[in-house]
Structure 1
Amino acid sequence: MKFVDLSHTFEDGMPGFRHENDDGTHTEYTAEVSPFFSHEESREKYDGKAAFEVTEMRFQTSMGTYLDSPYHRHLEGRDISELDIGELILPGTVVDARGLGGDEELTTDALPREDDLAGSAVLFNFGWDKHWGSEQYHSYPYISEAVIERLIDADVSLVGVDTLNADDHQNPTRPAHTRLLDEEIFIVENLCNLDLLVGESFRFFAVPIKAKDTAAMPIRAFAEVDQ
């Protein structure tokens, strides 16, 4: 049995996302990770015989490699805490979508025709994880509306991308999030290492903490590869 880590490292000052302000400037968001109290600070509480650290984190939940619940897009949708574990451990398929440039859309020609995708996690390997942390990462390829509809028709359970967003950032209707999450097809963004899964048979794991009233949550995404 082999496991492939599909998650970016979650750390202080990590790459995050940006929002455009009314004046055209951008606000950058990231995670803050630091000791709430350190080993050295705690040592005296245990008469010098033991020491512990408790770590404090502050971040928006759409950070790092993360899962979107239906509530992220739809107010009446299920939140992260309401998703069953069995919905987040799925047979996986990687679509090799490498070769597209920034702001290019993926067409239905790239989708597998013969495979049964019902109930599976379909992960799109754009090869964009190589740009993680760079300015180029913010201009990325995305799945077209025709691909979105094909995925819905195929009754997939989850869609993942190795980019910042499954949607074209220039399209305010956000069709991937609107259509997929309305159909209870979950979305994982900022995956990595999908190159290692091209042509492989695997199970995909996308389990977050059980956080109530939460739209999205970072996950430790990984694949269990059949051997």
Structure 2
Amino acid sequence: MKFVDLSHTFEDGMPGFRQKNDDGTHTEYTAEVYPFFTHEESREKYEGKSAFEVTEMRFQTSMGTYLDSPYHRHPEGRDISDLDIGELVLPGTVVDARGLAGNEELTVDALPQESALAGTAVLFNFGWDEHWGTEQYRSYPYISEAVIERLIDADVSLVGVDTLNADDHQNPARPAHTRLLDEEIFIVENLCNLDSLGGESFRFFAVPIKAKDTAAMPIRAFAEVDQ
């Protein structure tokens, strides 16, 4: 077997959401990664015989490649700590959704047969990871409401995208997050390298730290590919 890394690197100053404020300015979501103390700062504590660095981080949990729990959209829903590992290690299916433009929706014609999707992680390869870190990444294709309903009818377990958001950012109703998370279908956003999985049989891993009262959390998403 082989493993395919599907996660963007989590790093200081990385790109994230951009939120418009009431005064017309924007707030950028990002991560700060820095030493809590450095090797040099710790050396004297160990009489010069050893040294360690401890890293501190500050970030919004919807950052990088991350998992949304039902609590992200629904106050009564399960949070990240309530999700079982077995719910986050799933047979995977990649849907080739490449060729769409920014702000264009994907229609149901792109989906495989419903019978093949039950209990799986359905990952949409828009090819949008190539725009990571650019302004173009913020204007992305998304899954239509018809696709959302088809995924629910097919009884999928998780939906992943290689874009900033599974929803159209211009639609305040956020149907993907509203409908999928209400059905306990988890969402992973900002995937990458899905081109590597075309035609492959694989298991998808989307396991975060066990963080309580947390709506979303970055993950090290990866695929275990059968060979």
Same fold? TM cut 0.5: yes
3-state SS in 1 of match to 2:93: strand
What RMSD over aligned residues (CA atoms) do the two structures have, in Å?
A: 0.8
Instruction: State the Cα distance separating 1:198 from its structure 2 match.
Output: 1.0
Q: Which ranges of 4 or more aligned residues in structure 1 deviate by more than 6 Å?
A: none
Partner of 2:114: 114
Can you list the C-alpha shifts for 1:30-84, whole angstroms capped at 9, x where unaligned?
1000000000000000000000000000000000000000000000000000000
Q: Structure 1 residues 24-33 or 151-160, which shifts more?
A: 24-33
Are the aligned partners of 2:103 and 2:168 in contact in 1 as well (CA < 8 Å)? yes
CA distance in 2, matches of 1:84, 1:113: 27
Which region of structure 1 is more displaced relative to structure 2, 79-88 or 12-21?
Answer: 12-21
Offset of 1:114 from its aligned partner? 6.6
Structure 2 unmatched ranges of 5 or more:
none
Please list the CA deviations of residues 67-120 of structure 1 after superposition, one character each: whole Å capped at 9, or x if unmatched. 000000000000000000000000000000000000000000000127511100
In the TM superposition, what is the alpha-carbon distance from 1:217 to its structure 2 partner?
A: 0.1
Alignment match, 1:25:
25
Measure the CA separation in 2 of the matches of 1:141 and 1:203.
25
Distance 2:114 2:158 in 1: 19
Q: How many pairs does the alignment contain?
A: 227
Q: 1:84 to 1:37 in 2, by over 3 A?
A: same
Deviation at 1:29, TM superposition (A): 1.5
Q: Secondary structure at the match of 2:41?
A: helix
Shift of 1:25: 2.8
Given the superposition, is the C-alpha separation of residues 34 and 125 from structure 1 closer, same or farther in structure 2, using an over 3 Å criterion? same
Q: Answer with 97-106 or 111-120: which moved more.
A: 111-120
- Would you say the 8 A contact 2:92–2:202 is kept in 1? yes
Give, in angstroms, the shift of residue 14 of structure 1: 0.6
Unaligned runs of 5+ in 1: none
SS of 2:118's equivalent in the other structure is coil
Post-superposition Cα deviations, 1:186-221, rounded to whole Å, max 9, x if no partner, equal 000000000000111100000000000000000000
TM-score using structure 2 length:
0.99
Whole-Å Cα distance in 2 between the matches of residues 192 and 24 of structure 1?
32
How far off is 1:129 after superposition? 0.2
Change (3 A) 1:184 1:114: closer
Counterpart CA distance in 1 for 2:5 and 2:116 is: 25
User: Following the alignment from structure 2 to structure 1, what is the Cα–Cα distance between the partners of residues 23 and 118?
Assistant: 45
